[in-house]
Structure 1
Amino acid sequence: MEKVRLSDIAERIGVSTVTVHNALSGNKGVGEELRKQIQEVADEMGYQPPSARRQIKEAREFYTIGVLIAENYLAQYTTFYWRMYQDMAIIATEKHCFTAVEVLKKEDEIKTYKMPACLEEGRLDGLVVIGEIDKTYISHLKENSDIPLVFMDFYDSKLAEDAVIQDNFYGMFMLTEYMFEQGVDELAFVGSIFSTSSIMDRYCGFMKSMTLHGKNIHPEWLIEDRDEFGHMEFDLPHKLPKGFVCNCDLAASLVMDKLNDRGIRVPDDISVVGFDNYLYPGLPDRNITTYEVNKKAMARVALEKILKQIRNPKSGHGMSVISGNMVIKKTVKQKN
């Protein structure tokens, strides 16, 4: 039997999903006559409240956790999130969970707002969203679902309040400080800062270090590295800095290619750092000094959050920040 959703009840009566949720949850803002009507329709349609479903789930040995990844994160050179999902799938077996991954098409994300098929079919006990997606889509996702939601590598205090993120700010701050320690004090930042909250946080960490050293970034040294679909392409400025602080290792690798085309050596002439300690399979190892993200720890904490909500929906929500570590390789010129 197909699970009855709040949106099904809302459509039958002609009210919003939020109104149905408030009525069935005993929240304020719904008149008694309408509340009674909603309850009667819910009973007639066979709606099963979360508390009843939870008792059934608690009797089960395994849970099914959905994983949603936007298609633009799975394009060429951007498979970091796929590796993150693989780590999650392995850890899920330890926690008696099945995982079901689904790709969110761009049209569904920004136009049709179509819900994930595995969610529509009522097969999931919880859903993990990996990577930042459209906020309007998140609103629709929450309105049309009453299962636990956890977000990885993205946080929003109103929409994505239960989240696991990497330490973007201090990771990039530490990398930039390392550049200054080695005497590299004219720096550019490579990254589209309004593309994702992660890149913005990394830029803020970079700027904290710059500010502490009394430095301002030249406008031409703040370099956009991708378009709205995540495709990476950019040009370097004519006047070059002493070092490039890049929002990811792929951007750092592309910077190195462009410098090589100009006959400029890394690190002898210009220093470069990246972030993530990850390059697309097949690309050569460039020995990039970087900040390694602890993907396994992020996956483990995300699953723990999901299971906690399944077992106790009233448990608190919040953001968990997972620290990584600097990996010193060979792309920063050492101070004499």
Structure 2
Amino acid sequence: MAKAVKLADIAERLSVSTVTVSKALSGQKGVSEEMREKIKSLAEELGYQQPSARKSRNTGNSYNIGVLIATRYMGLYESFYWQMYQQVATKAVSKGCFTLMEAVGEKEEKNGTVPILIQEQKADSLIIIGRMQDEYLKALNRKASVPILYLDFCTEDRKTDAVISDSYYGAYRLTNYLFDMGHHKIGYIGTILSTGSITDRYLGYMKSMMEHGEKIKDEWLLEDRDKETGVIDADLYMKLPEDMPTAFVCNSDVTASYFIPKLRQNGYRVPEDISVVGYDNYLYPGLCDVPLTTYEVDIKEMARRAIHIMLKKLNGENYRQGISIVEGHLVIRESVTDIS
């Protein structure tokens, strides 16, 4: 039996990425018409069959995996989720599958509108990157007759499989590192309860503070964003306390990039006067001029697990993963001063 042609075979012949091949064959944007025609022509020449055709003949286990991301996460400063999608797409095509991404607008999310990918039966499953409104998620689970997986968040009902980073332990380790560097007056920046990850990171920070016998002052807990929209605003939310800590744990690198200029506006230097740590190890280039100590999220491993779990479900296995937690690691840079 002849070996099945894979996306990687086409990509290698044309010296492009497998993601480019996937986009071209599935009709997505981001590929020139000239390259799209070359890819389609070569695919036909080599006898490549798209996943839907393979499944109809019961000769393979390739699928169209839909990916949903709220439009509020797609801005310039929130491109962490775009990077996560790229890792998901890369891992999917390595398994011979397509990924189809759809951005969900605020109106569609509020109204519980079923994604076009599901309406037109283009997706065999859905991976949702970044938390959306609870009612929208409930509507999806009711209306979409395909497997669903949450990536980088989970919900209270625990009925849907999820892959998340270890926010609790990551923030705990970051705060412990600040104690190792001699800091005891440590604040936290993040609007608690706005997202699960922000709350988990606060709890990790709180555990470290309690274990070191340090009382957390209310004025050391700074909000950073609107609970409904998720929009970060340093002037509106990051109110500096009179009794300033010597260090702050930020719930994300993006929040840290807003907070550091705020400190400078108020006469504080980073890290000479105030130390700052972030979370994610991802910032759009040029967003922060201080090399930031942070906790790196293992995006590649999160994407690998997401695709692994989804393929087991799509292949008909009675598979229930629950919540899969992916550990990251500390990245030490120059935003923390040793005051011990």
Q: TM-score, normalised by structure 2?
A: 0.79
Alignment-derived partner of residue 240 in structure 2:
237
Gaps of 5+ in 2: 1-52
Give, in whole Å, the separation in 2 of the partners of 1:131 and 1:179.
29
Whether the 8 Å contact between 1:273 and 1:288 is mirrored in structure 2 is yes
* 1:57 to partner: Cα distance: 7.9
Q: Which has the larger radius of gyration?
A: 1
Query: Quick one: structure 1 residues 147 and 58, their matched pair in 2 at CA, closer, same or farther if it must change by over 3 Å?
Result: farther
Mapping of 1:73-222 within 5 angstroms?
73-110=73-110, 112-158=111-157, 161-222=160-221
Further displaced range: 253-262 or 229-238 = 229-238
Mapping of 1:312-331 within 5 angstroms?
312-331=316-335
Q: TM-score, normalised by structure 1?
A: 0.80
Give, in whole Å, the separation in 2 of the partners of 1:147 and 1:335.
54
User: Which secondary structure state, in structure 1, belongs to the residue aligned with residue 173 of structure 2?
Assistant: helix
Whether the 8 Å contact between 1:271 and 1:331 is mirrored in structure 2 is yes
Q: Partner letter of residue 163 of structure 2?
A: V
Whether the 8 Å contact between 1:236 and 1:258 is mirrored in structure 2 is no
Gaps of 5+ in 1: 1-52
Alignment-derived partner of residue 25 in structure 1:
none
User: Which secondary structure state, in structure 2, belongs to the residue aligned with residue 151 of structure 1?
Assistant: strand
Alignment-derived partner of residue 305 in structure 1:
309
User: Which secondary structure state, in structure 2, belongs to the residue aligned with residue 296 of structure 1?
Assistant: helix
Alignment-derived partner of residue 282 in structure 2:
278
User: Which secondary structure state, in structure 1, belongs to the residue aligned with residue 313 of structure 2?
Assistant: helix
Give, in whole Å, the separation in 2 of the partners of 1:85 and 1:286.
27
Q: Partner letter of residue 327 of structure 2?
A: S
Deviations 1:171-230 (A, max 9, x none): 000000000111111011100111110101100000000111122221111111011212
Q: Partner letter of residue 90 of structure 1?
A: T
Give, in whole Å, the separation in 2 of the partners of 1:61 and 1:220.
55
* 1:295 to partner: Cα distance: 0.5
Give, in whole Å, the separation in 2 of the partners of 1:198 and 1:235.
19
Whether the 8 Å contact between 1:57 and 1:63 is mirrored in structure 2 is no
Q: Partner letter of residue 305 of structure 1?
A: I
Give, in whole Å, the separation in 2 of the partners of 1:157 and 1:57.
39
User: Which secondary structure state, in structure 2, belongs to the residue aligned with residue 77 of structure 1?
Assistant: helix
* 1:89 to partner: Cα distance: 1.0
User: Which secondary structure state, in structure 1, belongs to the residue aligned with residue 77 of structure 2?
Assistant: coil
Alignment-derived partner of residue 222 in structure 2:
223
* 1:159 to partner: Cα distance: 5.1
Correspondence 1:262 to 2:262: no
Whether the 8 Å contact between 1:92 and 1:303 is mirrored in structure 2 is yes
Whether the 8 Å contact between 1:73 and 1:230 is mirrored in structure 2 is no
Q: Partner letter of residue 239 of structure 2?
A: L
Structure 1 stretches of at least 4 aligned residues deviating more than 6 Å after TM superposition: none
Query: Quick one: structure 1 residues 159 and 144, their matched pair in 2 at CA, closer, same or farther if it must change by over 3 Å?
Result: farther
Query: Quick one: structure 1 residues 277 and 216, their matched pair in 2 at CA, closer, same or farther if it must change by over 3 Å?
Result: same
Whether the 8 Å contact between 1:54 and 1:311 is mirrored in structure 2 is no
Whether the 8 Å contact between 2:166 and 2:326 is mirrored in structure 1 is yes
* 1:76 to partner: Cα distance: 3.8
Which of 240, 243, 250 is the equivalent residue of 2:254? 250
Give, in whole Å, the separation in 1 of the partners of 2:137 and 2:219.
35
* 1:64 to partner: Cα distance: 0.5
Give, in whole Å, the separation in 1 of the partners of 2:184 and 2:54.
57
Alignment-derived partner of residue 72 in structure 1:
72
